[in-house]
Amino acid sequence: MWKYIGAINKYGWLMGIVFLVLCLLFPMHADHQYGWFMGIVHGLVWLPNWILSWFSSSYFVKAPLHTGAYNFFWWLNFILSLIGWVEAFIPIILSLFRKVK
């Protein structure tokens, strides 16, 4: 179990810092319309934006004013990012329920 947690700590912190920097570099503004490129970026950083939205009303998980291409690429990258997060945590969850021999 601890080797998986160590791997998450080693790469998870780096990924978290990269995603947080992306959130700060590419903030969402409610009065700006976003296109396909920002749909890719915002779809990848949905988790940090979601967490930041708990503490500040200026952060959005998804831009309120967007194009159809933004919507498509946001959902595509949201799903791919979600799969990545689930794959990262499955070994940890399985190791918690594995019987010790």
Q: What is the pLDDT of residues 10-36, one digit of tens each?
A: 666 677 788 778 878 888 888 889 999
Per-domain residue ranges for the chain? 2-97
Give the pLDDT mean for 76-93. Answer: 83
pTM of the complete model: 0.72
Cα angle, residue 85 at apex, residues 52 and 36 outer, rounded to 5°: 65
pLDDT at site 29: 85
Q: How confident is the model at residue 98 (pLDDT cuts 50, 70, 90)?
A: confident
Type of residue at 56: S
The pLDDT of residue 79: 95
When pLDDT is cut at 50, 70 and 90, the band that residue 86 belongs to is: confident
Angle at 25 between CA 19 and CA 28, to 5 degrees: 95
